[in-house]
Amino acid sequence: MKTVYTCFSTDVIHDGHLNIINHAKEYGRVVVGCLSDKEMIRCTKFPTKSEEERMNLYRQIDGVDEVVMQNNMLYDDVIKALHPNYVIHGDNWKEGAESAIRTHVEGLLSEYGGQIIDVPYTYNENVKKIDAQLKEKLSMPEYRRKRLRQLIEMTPVVKVMEAHSGLTGLIVEKTVIEGDNGKLDQFDAMWVSSLCDSTAKGKPDIELVDMTSRFRTIEDITEVTTKPIIFDGDTGGLTEHFVYTVRSLERLGVSAVIIEDKTGLKKNSLFGTEVQQTQDSIENFSAKIAAGKKAQLTDDFMIIARIESLILEQGMEDALKRAHAFVAAGADGIMIHSRKKDPAEILEFCDKFRADNNETPIVVVPSSFNTITEEELAEHGVNIVIYANQLTRSAFPAMQQTAMDILKYHRAKEVDDRLLPIKNIITLIDEI
Ligand code: SPV
Ligand code: MG
């Protein structure tokens, strides 16, 4: 009897999946692969059911003979183990980012005479409705909030990109690429940076944009996305105010706030010691963290302590002492910052911190030390990498150049080639 294999990465079975199984049955014994969480978060939607729950769901489908785990989105593991005669899939994978996976599978099958069966992709009203409901579910605060903790468990390094508006949120949400290794990849979460949120409003990054306005930015983003949010809480302000901020962020579905151990008028860290900045005492900042943890109502929310000792040239020992003290005060993670081009001091901190603490997540923001890869950072115990300002910094020169060229040529024709076509801009945003 021949074997027909298909891979599912869904939490809900709809007409499309049933159609695939019905076709598959005609060719032989049907084996369904359950794509692992780790791979699912890289190429499709975030799972709302566990691997075990998904496997049980697939087992219940009429016509399915066996369910196995698939741990590689490129199918290498399952094809090697099962040698299926056929791999069956909706024909939607012939186009877009997924087509690279199809080509790879085709190559694997051709080694022993296996074949791909493409069945017409089902996209009827029922399927559309289920897709939309799943997306809606993922965007709800209770799902979104806990996702950061889940991601830290699921993936060697959580990749976070800044977002400061609905539009930048959509870029982080939807950008999927085919990487050098042939696998698809995407960002895991969004960073609502104080620098970019302030810059988008034409204001300096000095805690001038008030919380109401910052929350409005979060809402603009949450209305059109599903990925989890890490909020840049600056110094957290007065402890008496910070406890209210924690509750509001939890309610909005934010996963984590990062607060930095500075006091008084905050200036952006990338100024370093070029401007007057005061580091908070360990006692005061620990008390702020502890008050925030006490105020928090959900188990999901994280308060991450950001240490400015390296930025303010207070030395490695001070940074480490603070990290351990802030963890003792209840911090759920440590962010260590540096403005050196060389990542050496960041890596030294991570290695020394990990020697005594193997649990607490470490967060880094490689804006200055940008030659190091996510993988290298993860090897030193980093859990979360934040690209804090690159979308804003790429948009600004592009917009400025366009403004200058229109002034120069007294018309817009000369800039048109580098603009998003009108047809694309009017259809960029999906209507419900
Ligand atoms: C931000 O993005 O606002 C940050 C990171 O706080 S940094 O600008 O590097 O200080
Ligand atoms: Mg900031």
The answer on 245 and 111 residing in a single domain is no
CATH value at residue 287: 3.20.20.60
Is 254 among the domain residues? yes
287 and 191 share one domain: yes
- As given in the structure block, the two tokens for residue 224 are 């059109």
Alpha-carbon distance values, 190 to 164, 186, 225, 226, 279 (Å): 9, 12, 10, 10, 27
Centre of ligand 2 from the C-alpha of residue 194, in Å? 4
Q: Specify the residue with its C-alpha closest to ligand 1, atom 10.
A: 269
How far apart are alpha carbons 361 and 285 in whole angstroms? Answer: 19
Q: How many residues can be counted in the chain?
A: 432
Encoded tokens for 296:
């928090």
- For the CA of 193, the nearest ligand: 1
Report d(CA 367, CA 338) in Å as an integer: 9
- For 101-145, strand residue ranges (E) read 115-119
Tell me how far apart the alpha carbons of residues 331 and 302 are, in angstroms, rounded to a whole number: 8
The answer to whether residues 262 and 202 belong to one domain is: yes
Close Cβ partners of 417 (under 8 Å, ≥ 6 residues apart): none
Do residue 123 and residue 144 come from a single domain? no
Which of 75, 96, 130 is at the close of a domain?
A: 130
My answer on whether 309 and 407 are in the same domain is: no
Judgement on whether residues 355 and 405 belong to the same structural domain of the protein:
no
- My answer on whether 323 and 426 are in the same domain is no
Residue 179 lies in a domain: yes
Its pTM stands at: 0.94
Task: Give the 3-state secondary structure of residue 312.
Answer: coil
Distance from residue 3's CA to the centre of ligand 2 (Å) = 55
What's the count of helices (H) and strands (E) in the chain, helices before strands? 17, 17
Q: How many domains does the chain have?
A: 3
| Max Cα-Cα span within the chain | 76
Give domain status of residue 135, yes or no: no
Residue from 198, 235, 268, 367 whose mutation best tests the ligand 1 pocket (most atoms within 8 A of CB): 268
Q: What is the pLDDT along the chain (432 residues), one digit of tens a residue?
A: 999 999 999 999 999 999 999 999 999 999 999 999 999 999 888 999 999 999 999 999 999 999 999 999 999 999 999 999 999 999 999 998 889 999 999 999 999 999 999 999 888 888 889 888 888 899 999 999 999 999 999 999 999 999 999 999 999 999 999 888 889 999 999 999 999 999 999 999 999 999 999 999 999 999 999 999 999 999 999 999 999 999 999 999 999 999 999 998 888 888 888 888 899 999 999 999 999 999 999 999 999 999 999 999 999 999 999 999 999 999 999 999 999 999 999 999 999 999 999 999 999 999 999 999 999 999 999 999 999 999 999 999 999 999 999 999 999 999 999 999 988 888 878 776
**Most ligand 1 atoms within 8 A of CB, residue of 364, 389, 391, 392 to mutate:** 389
* Residue ranges with strand state E in 164-314: 176-178, 184-186, 189-192, 229-232, 256-260, 262-263, 278-279, 302-307
Asked if residues 310 and 345 have their Cβ atoms less than 8 Å apart, the reply is yes
Atom index in ligand 1 nearest the CA of residue 368 equals 9
**DSSP code per residue over 64-106:** --EEEEE--TT-HHHHHHH--SEEEEEGGGGSSTTHHHHHHHH
For residue 269, the ligand 1 atom closest to its alpha carbon is 10
Cα(195) to centroid of ligand 2, in Å? Answer: 5
Q: Quick one: which atom of ligand 1 is closest to the CA of 197?
A: 3
User: Among positive and negative, which fits the CA dihedral 207, 212, 213, 218?
Assistant: positive
Cα–Cα distance between 125 and 193 in angstroms, integer?
Answer: 39
Q: What are 401's two structure tokens? A: 């150049």
115 within domain boundaries: yes
| Ligand 1: centre distance to CA 195 (Å) | 6
How many A from CA of 162 to the centre of ligand 2?
11
Using CA positions, which residue lies closest to atom 7 of ligand 1?
269
Ligand 1: residue of 270, 310, 386 to mutate (most ligand atoms within 8 A of CB) is 270
Give the domain range for residue 422: 394-430
Pocket test for ligand 1, best of 160, 205, 231, 346 (most atoms within 8 A of CB): 205
Closest approach atom of ligand 1 to CA 268: 10
Same domain, 363 and 378: yes
Find the 366 Cα to ligand 2 centroid distance in Å: 13
Task: Catalogue the active-site residues.
Answer: 205
Q: Which residues make up the environment of ion ligand 2, defined by Cβ < 5 Å?
A: 194-195, 232
What's the CA gap between 182 and 321, in Å, rounded?
Answer: 43
201-234 exposure pattern, b = at least 16 Cβ within 10 A, e = fewer: eeeebebebebeebbebbebbbebbbbbbbbbbb
Q: In this structure, are 16 and 83 located in the same domain?
A: yes
- The residue whose CA has the least distance to atom 5 of ligand 1 is 388
Look at residue 211 and tell me if it is in a domain. Answer: yes
For the CA atoms of 346, 348, 354, 356, what is the dihedral angle to 10 degrees? -130
Instruction: Please give the distance, rounded to the nearest whole angstrom, from the Cα atom of residue 267 to the centre of ligand 2.
Output: 9
Q: Is residue 322 part of a domain?
A: yes
Question: Is residue 208 located within the same domain as residue 64?
Answer: no
Write out residues with Cβ below 6 Å of ligand 1: 193-195, 205, 232, 268-270, 365, 367, 388-389
* Chain center to CA of 217: 18
Task: Please indicate, yes or no, whether residues 85 and 166 belong to a single structural domain of this protein.
Answer: no
For residue 120, being part of any structural domain is answered with: yes
Last residue of a domain, one of 105, 130, 155: 130
DSSP bridge pairs for 117: 88
Beta-carbon contacts of 151 under 8 Å, excluding residues fewer than 6 positions away, are 41, 158, 188, 189, 228
Based on the domain organization, do 268 and 328 belong to the same domain? yes
Q: Give the model's pLDDT for residue 432.
A: 66
Let me know if residue 244 belongs to a domain.
Answer: yes
Question: Which one, of 125, 98, 147, 171, lies nearest residue 298 by Cα?
Answer: 147
CATH number at residue 98: 3.40.50.620
Q: What atom in ligand 1 is closest to the CA of residue 260? A: 6
What is the rounded (10 degree) CA torsion for 370, 371, 374, 376?
Answer: -140
Q: Using CA atoms in the order 10, 14, 17, 18, what is the torsion angle rounded to 10 degrees?
A: 150
